[in-house]
C-alpha cells in the first residue's frame, strides 16, 4: 500500500484538476471540498494505520470518473464493492486492467457481451477486453457504491462511502435525468430510491453465477440498454 500520510489540501487540488478534465468538477466539487470528504480520507488513513489495508490504491479510487467524461455519460453500471483481492481493482467496477486477466465476475459479463471463448476448459479474453476503460470512454460510468474495500472483506467500506454515493445518485437524478442505470444485485437495488428520473434495469450480480452452474442470468441487459439508447437518439455502446 502506498504511503498514506496525505495532505488533504494537496489531494483536493489534484482531484479537482482531474475532475475538471473529465467534466465532473461542477457536480462533485462541493462534496470533494467539504467536511464529508475529510471524514472519508481520515477514516481510510486511520484504518491503514490500524493494519487494515484497502483496495484499490488511493490514486485509483476516482478512476471511474476520470475515464468517463461527464458530458458523454449515458449508462451507469452499479455494483457493491471493488475486487477485494489485493492488486486487482483499478477503480472501475469489474474491470481488470491491472492484471489483464478476467476475474470470474468479469468472465460472466464478457460471456454475455463478447461471447464464450473456451480452450481446454478456460475462458480466455485479451487484456484489452478485460480493460473496461473501453466502455468508460463511450459514456459508461462503472461505479461501486463503496469506492474502496478492506482486503478480502466484502462490504467493509460500505458505510464509509454511503454519503458520497447518496450525493452522486441524487445529483445525477436531478441533473442527468433519463440516464440508464444497470443495478447489479440486491445491494445495488437499495439505491433505487435516488433514481426516480432514471431508466433502470435490474439484474442479479454476476456473483450469482457461482451458485448457478456458472450461468449468469443477465436478462439480455446489454442489448436492452442499446435499444433504450436508440430510443433516446444516442449512440449504442460497443460492449
Whether 81 is a known active-site residue: answer yes
The single-letter DSSP state of residue 198 is S
The single-letter DSSP state of residue 151 is T
Residues 6+ apart with CB under 8 A from 44: 4, 54, 58, 148, 160
Catalytic residue among 81, 90, 119, 170: 81
Q: Assign 183 to helix, strand or coil.
A: strand
Do 196 and 148 meet the contact criterion of CB atoms below 8 Å apart?
Answer: no
First to last CA, the chain: 33
How far is 178 from 175, CA to CA, in rounded Å? 10
Do 118 and 132 meet the contact criterion of CB atoms below 8 Å apart?
Answer: no
How far is 146 from 157, CA to CA, in rounded Å? 6
Q: What share of the chain is helix, strand, coil (3-state, %, to 5)?
A: 45, 10, 40
Residues with a known catalytic role: 81
Amino acid at each position: 500500500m502506498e504511503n498514506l500520510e496525505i495532505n488533504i489540501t494537496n489531494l483536493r487540488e489534484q482531484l479537482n484538476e482531474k475532475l475538471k478534465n473529465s467534466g465532473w468538477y461542477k457536480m462533485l466539487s462541493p462534496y470533494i471540498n467539504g467536511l464529508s470528504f475529510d471524514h472519508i480520507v481520515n477514516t481510510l488513513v486511520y484504518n491503514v494505520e490500524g493494519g487494515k489495508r484497502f483496495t484499490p490504491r488511493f490514486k485509483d479510487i476516482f478512476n471511474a470518473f476520470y475515464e468517463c467524461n461527464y458530458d458523454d455519460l449515458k449508462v451507469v453500471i452499479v455494483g457493491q464493492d471493488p475486487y477485494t483481492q489485493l492488486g486487482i481493482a483499478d477503480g472501475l467496477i469489474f474491470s481488470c486492467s491491472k492484471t489483464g486477466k478476467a476475474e470470474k465476475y468479469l468472465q460472466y459479463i464478457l460471456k454475455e457481451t463478447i461471447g464464450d471463448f473456451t480452450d481446454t476448459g478456460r475462458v480466455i479474453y485479451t487484456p484489452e477486453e478485460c480493460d473496461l476503460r473501453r466502455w468508460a470512454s463511450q459514456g459508461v460510468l462503472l461505479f461501486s457504491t463503496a469506492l474502496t474495500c478492506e482486503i478480502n472483506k466484502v462490504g467493509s467500506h460500505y458505510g464509509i462511502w454511503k454519503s458520497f454515493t447518496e450525493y452522486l445518485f441524487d445529483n445525477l437524478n436531478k441533473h442527468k435525468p433519463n440516464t440508464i442505470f444497470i443495478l447489479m444485485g440486491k445491494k445495488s437495488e437499495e439505491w433505487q430510491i435516488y433514481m426516480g428520473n432514471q431508466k433502470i434495469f435490474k439484474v442479479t450480480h454476476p456473483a450469482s453465477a457461482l451458485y448457478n452452474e456458472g450461468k449468469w442470468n443477465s436478462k439480455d441487459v446489454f442489448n436492452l440498454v442499446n435499444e433504450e439508447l436508440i430510443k433516446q437518439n444516442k449512440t449504442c455502446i460497443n460492449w
